[in-house]
Amino acid sequence: MVFLGVDLAWRSQPSGVCCLAYGREGLYLLNIDRLDHRDQVLQWVDDFAPDPHPALIGIDAPTIVTNSTGMRACDRLCHQCFGKYDAGAYPANLASPFVANTLAFAQALLARGFRHGADLVPQTAGRWQIEVFPHPATVNLFGLPKILKYKKGKLGDRQVQLAMLASLILEKLPIANLQPVLQMHHHLLQGKIAGKALKAHEDKLDSLLCAYIAYHWWLWGQAKNLVLGEQTTGFMIVPTANP
């Protein structure tokens, strides 16, 4: 079973991608990258999870949107549950300029056999896609009082916050082999990453979290995850605890 994480670009920016595999030695890293176009991301999915290989994809982007205006029920629930941690979701509706792109990606995955997985039975082989959101996941997995604010703000502050995220991933997540992420963490601690390189590392770490959330959902289901919303109008999976 493989677990793919996609920090999907909502418009024309690059996307972070990560592939984790589960085997006798536990969960380990197969690939982490950043790709420029949606078609490249889909080709990457085909390479690491060719049909009918069992796989679960965690996507940081709206994958089911039916409301013409306002926000989805899952976005509203995310605000209610995680707003106090500064982890509320960005609202999505059919008029949002990014939604056509994210829905097209989800539809392309459906054509590849990836069903929406809000009702997934834990540890069942198959092909699913789920919507995930790294910020509330980090609050629960790492016991944070607030999210790590590595996306906005002064460069020095972002570098520190992103280094903290890399450190927490290495220390807290039960993944066997994270050498590429360890290298990124080392560079971040030295404070040598800025500009586009910093954004690239951010996207890769977010994609790793997406892949891990997919694994967490597959392994534990609702025993250790929240389902915000429901499958017909949009849902998000958020871990409640680490194994």
Q: How far is CA 117 from CA 41, 64, 113, in A?
A: 20, 12, 12
Q: Once rounded to an integer, what is the mean pLDDT over residues 51-61?
A: 97
Query: What DSSP line would sit under 46-66, residue for residue?
Result: HHHS-TTS-EEEEESS-----
> Residues 104-149: pLDDT tens digits?
999 999 999 999 999 999 999 999 999 999 999 999 999 999 999 9
Between helix 195-220 and helix 179-190 the angle, nearest 10°, is: 140
Estimate to the nearest angstrom the gap between the alpha carbon of 104 and the chain centroid. Answer: 18
- Rounded to 5 degrees, what angle do the CA atoms 202, 17, 132 make? 80
- Please give the share of the chain, as a percent, with pLDDT higher than 90: 74
CA dihedral over 186, 191, 196, 201, signed as positive or negative = positive
Helices (H) and strands (E) in the chain, counts: 7, 8
pTM: 0.94
How many C-beta neighbours within 10 Å does residue 85 have?
16
How many C-beta neighbours within 10 Å does residue 125 have?
11
Q: Quick one: tokens of 231?
A: 């499958």
Supply the pLDDT for residue 46: 98
Beta-strand relationship, 234-239 and 225-230: antiparallel
For residue 39, pLDDT over 90 is answered with: yes
For residue 196, pLDDT over 90 is answered with: no
> Residues 68-114: pLDDT tens digits?
999 999 999 999 999 999 999 999 999 999 999 999 999 999 999 99
> Residues 148-182: pLDDT tens digits?
999 989 988 998 899 899 888 888 887 766 655 55
How many C-beta neighbours within 10 Å does residue 198 have?
18
Residue 155 contacts residue 7 (beta carbons within 8 Å): no
Average pLDDT, the chain: 91
